[in-house]
Amino acid sequence: MLDGRYRVEARIAVGGMATVYRAVDTRLDRVLALKVMHPALAADGSFVDRFIREAKSVARLDHPNVVQVFDQGTDRAYVYLAMEYVAGCTLRDVLRERGALQPRAALDILEPMLAALGAAHRAGFVHRDMKPENVLIGDDGRVKVADFGLVRGVGTVTNTTGSVLGTVSYLAPEQIESGTADPRVDVYACGILLYEMLTGERPHEGDSPAIVLYKHLHDDVPPPSGVVPGMAYGLDELVASATARNPEVRPYDAVALLAQVREVRGGLDAAQLDAMPPQALSSEHHNADDRTSVIPRALTSPTLGFARAGGPPSRPLPVDEDDGQRGHGGGADSYHRTSRLRTPAPLPPRRGPGLRAPALLRGPMTIVVLVLLVLGAGAGAWYINSGQFTKVPPLLAKTEKEARDRLAEAGLGVGRVEEAYSDSVKRGSVIRTDPAAGARIRGTDSVSLTLSKGPETVKVPDVDGVALDKARAALKKAGLEPGMVTREFSGDVAKGSVISTGPAGGTEVRAGSAVALTVSKGNPVDVPDVTGEDLADARAELEEVGLEVEVATERVTSEHDAGRVARQSPGADDEAVEGDTVTLTLSKGPEMIEVPDVVGDSVDEATGTLEAAGFRVEEDRGLFGLFGDTVKGQSVAGGDTAPKGSTITLKIR
């Protein structure tokens, strides 16, 4: 029993931060899920704050496709969330069991996911960790998004001391580079999820997380049709739009992506929606009557199975039906808005001289006339409300010729054609249209195209020989970023100035690229050894090779006479350049210590005693002491003092 209320019945899952249990709320007698933080993490305030932030964030999201949070509390060392219990499986279970999914099933799962995220985005939150494990599919076919444990406010930058929060296979490039988290990182992750559902595999794989992160930064997500031949082109466009490496090209939030999904889906026929990808496992492991054993049957029906599960999913936000086109790329407003046809009121019988209604109604010609009148009125109303309008087709990443052809097929003309730089769309292909894809315009109108000029390139300025701070400023002014700085000795370039850049000056590179700088450490100098020298002589010798001299305030005892250099820094074996400072520490003379009396001792005993006291020892055996072993005298008598480290001579007879 947890907190005197929740009876734990079974463990459901274990994650990096918490364990999830199925439990019963004994007060309300309902089954729920308990997410309990690992006790070892509960001592960390930052983890507890993140855990509680999840509860507060999700509690604000009242949406049928978000796993609801009922309660949050602490019981001794256990910090927990009480959440809605969803009986079913995760999208990861579905993919593991089924491999690739039919487009209809993939879109049936994606749409409620985007509806949930759209509600979060419009409420000011970003999920930041969308992955198959966080998409729950109930036994009733209802799809719910879970685990808002990494939720952040829109537009925040996450400081994680070098680590990137989230799962590497689904991280957007800007999350990896700068930690930036706005709704478009969730859009990117959903694009990866769509690719994975359609193909049965992730677009970027590698032997290590570092390789996967590198591919997210430098490789575009390939079109699903490259893995699943014959897949509808609209699905390729949808994946390309959601996973553009440049966040400016992506739909600005999940609501906008949902509108694109609905638009693409509307352009697919039944054969395209129900096409079975070759990577699907159903044909090998399930018979024809068991095709929905993992995915609820509602998810593979022509319409999303929420009718039998309690009604259709709610919209992420209420939509003003009367407003015009808003947002980028024909967002949710353009999708949710309906044409609202009005059936004309029945016309009263026309009366006049010579025309009697009863007689008129008796003839077959009268019936034909009335039908034609009603059809004409209906056709007129249809034309006024819808017939004269058409939708702008999706043209992202199409060549100019392809875009013109598709516009012509839709009965639309081409207006102004402009060019702009793009890091993610190849040169000559469409970056954006005006009006945006999905916009409802008159059939006689034209659509303006913006074509890619390719990545913006700039020339690296020549900053060789320029001081480092000025070189950095010049690079920034040119639209580049100062990169890694390495330092080398140079006899030609002044200390602190640039020796070279990588790439070299004059090279054309993509705008915003980093430029490495090699900076001079100055001319190398051989530091002379001045220990034991008089201060004046030492100073002159050091200054002669271009070094500055500083004298330490404290003096130390040493073997050198008082006033002479006891030690120096840097030393004779250390690196230095012209202009460096050498610190000299002067001697206050040797330390005087008492000399032990060793006369009468054996040579070995006397030597050991004197060396232990800090003296060096020499032997004087003379002519008659070659074979003796007894000390007959010592150069400094026992009891007198001598400099520590000085030599005591033993006379042996």
**CB contact at 8 A, 448 and 416:** yes
Instruction: Please spell the DSSP secondary structure of 90-147, one letter per residue.
Output: EHHHHHHHH-S--HHHHHHHHHHHHHHHHHHHHTTEE-----GGGEEEETTS-EEE--
SS3 (DSSP) at 152: strand
Torsion on CA atoms 48, 50, 55, 58, rounded to nearest 10: -170
Q: How far is CA 510 from the centre of its chain?
A: 21
Q: Is there a cis peptide before residue 393, judged by omega within 30 degrees of 0? A: no
- Bridge partners (DSSP) listed for residue 651: 620, 633
Supply 307's token pair: 């009718």
**CB contact set of 372 (below 8 Å; sequence gap of 6+):** none
Supply 480's token pair: 């580049």
Q: Is there a cis peptide before residue 278, judged by omega within 30 degrees of 0? A: no
Catalytic residue among 62, 93, 108, 129: 129
Give Cα separations from 111 to 139, 481, 555 (angstroms): 18, 40, 79
Q: 18-25 and 135-138 as β-strands: parallel, antiparallel, unpaired? A: unpaired
**Does residue 62 have an active-site annotation?**
no
**Residue with structure tokens 């463990």?**
11
Q: How far apart are CA 524 and CA 490, in angstroms?
A: 7
Q: Is there a cis peptide before residue 132, judged by omega within 30 degrees of 0? A: no
Nearest Cα to Cα of residue 320 among 339, 302, 304, 333: 333
**∠372-376-381 over CA atoms, to 5°?**
155
SS3 (DSSP) at 479: coil
**Residue with structure tokens 């020339």?**
459
Nearest Cα to Cα of residue 331 among 103, 122, 61, 107: 122
Q: Which value, in Å, is the radius of gyration of the alpha carbons in the chain? A: 41
Helices (H) and strands (E) in the chain, counts: 19, 30
SS3 per-residue string spanning 26-91:
CCCCEEEEEEEECHHHHCCHHHHHHHHHHHHHHHCCCCCCECCEEEEEEECCEEEEEEECCCEEEH
Tally of CB atoms within 10 A around 458: 16
SS3 per-residue string spanning 592-605:
EEECCCCCCCEHHH
- Bridge partners (DSSP) listed for residue 650: 619, 634
Tally of CB atoms within 10 A around 223: 20
Q: Which segments of 490-557 does DSSP mark as H helices, in order?
A: 535-544
**CB contact at 8 A, 127 and 150:** yes
**CB contact at 8 A, 106 and 194:** yes
Supply 273's token pair: 């929606």
Active site residues: 129
